[in-house]
Chains A and B, each alone.
Chain A
Amino acid sequence: MPIKVPWLKGVFPALVTPFVRKTEDVDEEAYRTLIRYALPNVDGLVTSGTTGEFPYLTREEQRRLVEIGVEEAGGKPVVAGCGASSTQEALTLARDAKDAGASAALIVTPYFLHPSDKGVYQHFYDIATAVDLPIILYNIPQVMDSYLPRTVVEDLADLPNVIGLKDSSGDLTYTMELLEYAGDRIDIFVGHDEVVLPALAGGVSGFILASAQVYPEVWQEVIRLAGEGQLEEARALQRSVQKLSRIFCRYGGGVAVKAALKLMGLDMGPPRKPLKAVGGALIHETRAEIRLELEKLGKIQVEEPDFEYPSAPLASRFGDLEITPEHIAAHALHTGTGTAGEGLNKVQIDLIAGGKDTVLGDTYALQLTYPLHRREALTAILEPGLTVRPSTLLLPTLPQKNLRQANMIYGPTQAALAQAIVDALEEGRVPDAAVDAYVMIALATLHPRALDRHALFHSVRAAAADALAQAFSQ
Chain B
Amino acid sequence: MGYKTDWFKGIFPALVTPFTADDKVDEAGYRALIRYVLPHVNGVVPCGTTGEFSYLTLEERKQVTQICLDEVAGRVPVVVGTGCKSTRETLKLTEWAKDAGASGALVVAPYFLKPTFNEVYDHFRAVDQVGLPIVLYNIPQCAGTHFRWWTGEAMSLDFDNVIGIKDSSGDLPFMEAMFEKVKGKVAIFVGHDEVVQAALGAGADGAILASANVIPDVWQRVYQATLEGDLETAQYWQQRVQKLVRIIVRCGSTQAVKEGLRMMGLPIGDSRHPVMPGGAFRREDRDELRLQLELPDIDKIKKATVTYDLGHRQVETEVCATPQTPRTISGFTMKVGEGFAGPPFHELAHVDLLLGLKNGPVGRAMERAMAERGEKRGLKIINERPRTLLVPTVTVRTAKQRRLFYEHAAQGVNLAIRLSVEDGFLPEAILDDVVLIVNAFVHPAASIAKRVDFNNYKATRYAIRKALEGRPVVEELINEKAAARHPFRYAP
Contact = CB atoms under 8 A, between A and B. Distances in A.
Interface of A: 243, 246-247, 251, 276, 278-280, 283-286, 289, 356-357, 361-362, 364-366, 368-370, 376, 379, 381-389, 391, 407, 410-412, 414-415, 418-419, 422-423, 425-426, 435-437, 439, 453, 457
Interface stretch (B26-34, B81-89, B331-339): B331-339
18 contacts: A278-B445, A284-B444, A361-B334, A368-B352, A368-B391, A369-B389, A382-B481, A384-B338, A384-B350, A387-B336, A389-B474, A391-B336, A407-B488, A411-B489, A414-B486, A415-B489, A419-B484, A437-B331
A361 B393 CA distance: 19
The 10 A-B residue pairs whose C-beta atoms are closest, nearest first, are A279-B445, A385-B283, A365-B365, A415-B486, A411-B488, A382-B484, A384-B340, A361-B361, A370-B369, A391-B336
A379 B352 CA distance: 7
Contact of B338 (A361, A381, A407, A457): A381
B315 interface: no
B79 to A, nearest CB: 37
Contacts of B360: 357, 361
A274 to B, nearest CB: 11
B59 interface: no
B282 interface: yes
Contacts of A246: 492
Contacts of A435: 474
Contacts, number: 154
B467 to A, nearest CB: 10
Interface of B: 278, 282-284, 331, 333-334, 336, 338, 340, 345-346, 350, 352, 354, 356, 360-362, 364-366, 368-369, 372-373, 379, 389, 391, 393, 437, 439, 444-445, 447, 470, 472-474, 476-478, 480-481, 484-492
Contacts of B439: 368-369
B492 A411 contact: no
Contacts of A383: 278, 484-487
Contacts of A436: 331, 470
A203 to B, nearest CB: 30
A125 to B, nearest CB: 33
B368 A366 contact: yes
Contacts of B491: 243, 289, 453
Contact of B492 (A289, A369, A382): A289
Residue picked from B365, B373, B437, B488, most chain A C-beta under 10 Å: B488
Contacts of A388: 477
Given A243-B491, A279-B346, A388-B477, A356 B333 contact: yes
A243 B490 CA distance: 12
A379 B474 CA distance: 16
Contact of B477 (A280, A389, A453): A389
Contacts of B470: 436
A7 to B, nearest CB: 36
Contacts of B346: 279, 283
A418 B481 CA distance: 9
Residue picked from B354, B368, B477, most chain A C-beta under 10 Å: B477
A426 B373 contact: no
A18 to B, nearest CB: 23
B378 to A, nearest CB: 10
A412 B489 contact: yes
B365 A369 contact: yes
B444 A379 contact: no
A385 B486 contact: no
A246 B356 CA distance: 47
A389 B337 CA distance: 11
Residue picked from B354, B365, B473, most chain A C-beta under 10 Å: B365
A383 B373 CA distance: 31
Nearest to B346: A279
Contacts of B282: 385
B209 to A, nearest CB: 27
Given A407-B488, A415-B484, A364 B334 contact: yes
